[in-house]
Structure 1
Amino acid sequence: MKNSNLHVIAMIPARLQATRFPRKLLQDLGGKSVIVRTYLNTKATGLFDEVIVVTDSQEIFDDIKSHGGQVMMSQKEHSCGSDRIAEAVETINTDIVVNVQGDEPFTDKDSLENLLNVFHQNDAEQIDLASLMTPLNDLDDIQNPNYVKVIVNQQNFALYFSRSPIPYHRNQTISVQYYRHKGIYAFRKQAILDFSKLPMLGLEAAEQIECIRFLEHGKTIKMVQTQENSFGIDTPQDLDRAKAFFNQQNP
């Protein structure tokens, strides 16, 4: 996207004390921490004018700095990554902000490029933000509440997100494709600033899915399908899987 007329940055929110796996971002992955791997992988795509880690942790700040990376320290406490990014981006002159999850070190260039391309399509003016979805076919995955599902309209704008299987497959004669939401977003700058000022409403509070806030307040989310099946690191078992995957890619 560097060749486009849009200024595009990637921001990686990095909270040290994650609930399920504290300090996971500083765990070793092939000789560097998970957060450094995420930063370097995002930088290597060449899609962004800047890549910036935003953190509440001096340890993460120092780790990124030691690898020559750009990093900012949050000035306030935040309950979610989007709020952390909103604080950081307020003083940055940019058009599009991509939220890259700090615990997803393997997201590939093609997925990010496809995500950014929606801001150059015919319906670009209708898009407040864009996000990724990938097909779900395994029944256990479809029923897993840790996998957020999304349904879309004919133009691939999100209708709803849920931890429950949506749609409910009552009529078994109808073929249904389920999609998992991947928590990577491309925001117009104003959309991310608006997010931090909008109150959490009932559906978001019930599901504990932050992007529902946009839908409840009338914002539009364009979903982009990807076959790329990267994974987040939420547990020690996920880290073991990530290490095995890394070793396969780097024999």
Structure 2
Amino acid sequence: MHTGSKTPQNAVAVIPARYDSTRLPGKPLLLIAGKPLIVWVAERAAAASSISRTIVATDDSRIADAVGAAGFDVVMTRADHATGTDRIAEVAHNLQAEIIVNVQGDEPLIDPLTIDRAVDALRNDPSAQMSTTYELIDEPADVLSSSVVKIAIDTEGYATAFSRNPIHWPNQAVEKHGSIESSPGELGLLFSFKKHTGLYAYRREFLLEFTRWPQSDSERKESLEQMRALDRGVKIKVVEAASRSIGVDTKDDLERVRAIIEKELKVPA
């Protein structure tokens, strides 16, 4: 088992995994350098020094078998969960842990240090109920893409807004250059935009309460679950990711990740 206790404070990583995917059926079991994608994610999560236990939460026996064969804990959950957060909450009901970390099941390059930063953000801030991470945006197209969620942060490091649209549009700079795409040299302009990642750390009791709340209006409009917490005044601590990750949503994403990992391992493609 990859579940050794590394810290007196108990933080458990739970990785939701479902077999069905519109663009990549069977995504968790797709092989990267001979190993299922979901196992790569579990190994990265277990490598975080803040994590005492790593669990994959799934409703599919094929995923459970692959994860179990790799030596990780698996919890079989109901199949009718609307979101990965709901699946994680089902697991959290039976865990004795201060902090539950939601590690996305499609990020085999997640940096263990990023997980540590999210956990430490909660441990060091009693007023925060959850934490998350961001990456700086350095591509103009990402600023305008609705598939890239932007986040705004106040001077104390708490989230003030999430949106699929650009937040705090730099009107004067855009008027000067004609468009945000025409001024890629102004990195300060691009770096003022922050990309929200899918990693979350929750205080266990808050997570269980959060999943009982009804959807908020802005959550429905943006299709962003975290707005449910923000709209209720919940403090969400935000820290920068230790490095960039790649979520595997398409075949192109999969090939990019395969190339990166195979290069690191020097495994023939």
TM-score interval w.r.t. the shorter chain? over 0.9
* Offset of residue 62 of structure 1: 0.9
Q: What does residue 110 of structure 2 align with?
A: 107
Could you say which residue in structure 1 is the equivalent of 2:43?
A: 40
Aligned to 1:206: 221
Output the CA distance in 2 between the equivalents of 1:65 and 1:115. 26
Which secondary structure state, in structure 2, belongs to the residue aligned with residue 197 of structure 1? coil
8 Å contact from structure 1 (residues 135, 227) kept in 2: no
1:192 counterpart (195, 207, 217): 207
> Structure 1 residues 158 and 242, CA, compared in 2 at 3 Å: closer, same or farther?
same
Letter of the 2:152 partner, please give it.
Answer: I
- Corresponding residue number in structure 1 for 2:59: 56
State the Cα distance separating 1:171 from its structure 2 match. Answer: 2.6
Question: Residue type of the partner of 1:74?
Answer: T
What SS does the corresponding residue of 2:171 show, helix, strand or coil?
Answer: coil
Match for 2:258 among 240, 243, 249?
243
Aligned residue identity for 1:20 = R
SS of 1:126's partner is coil
Q: Which TM-score applies when normalising by structure 2?
A: 0.88
Q: In the alignment, which residue of structure 1 is the partner of 2:27?
A: 24
Compared CA separation, residues 178 and 93, structure 1 to 2 (3 A): same
Aligned partner of 1:183 in structure 2 is 198
Amino acid of the structure 1 residue aligned with 2:109? F
Kept after mapping to 1: 8 A contact 2:49/2:116: no
1:26-65 C-alpha deviation (Å, 9 max, x unpaired): 1111101101111122213343111000001111011111
Structure 1's unaligned 5+ residue stretches are none
Matched, 1:233 2:248: yes
Residues in 2 aligned to 1:109 and 1:238: alpha-carbon distance in whole angstroms: 20
3-state SS of the aligned residue for 2:80?
A: coil
Cα RMSD over matched residues?
A: 1.8
Q: Percent identity?
A: 30
Structure 1 length-normalised TM: 0.94
After superposition, the C-alpha distances for 1:183-241 in whole angstroms (9 at most, x for unaligned) are 10110001210121011121111111111111112211100012511110001110011
Q: Which residue of 2 aligns with 1:127?
A: 128
1:68-104 CA distances to partner (integer Å, 9 max, x unpaired)? 2100011251111111101111111110011101100
Query: Could you tell me which residue of structure 1 aligns to residue 76 of structure 2?
Result: 73
* Kept after mapping to 2: 8 A contact 1:136/1:178: yes
Larger Rg: 2
- Does 1:223 pair with 2:226? no
Instruction: Give the match's secondary structure for 2:42.
Output: helix
Q: For 1:94-144, what per-residue CA distance to the aligned partner results, in whole angstroms no more than 9, with x for missing partners?
A: 1001110110011112212222222343xx111000000010021101111
Instruction: Measure, in 2, the Cα distance between the counterparts of 1:120 and 1:44.
Output: 19
Cα distance in 1, alignment partners of residues 101 and 242 from structure 2: 19
Q: Distance in 2 between matches of 1:19 and 1:160?
A: 29
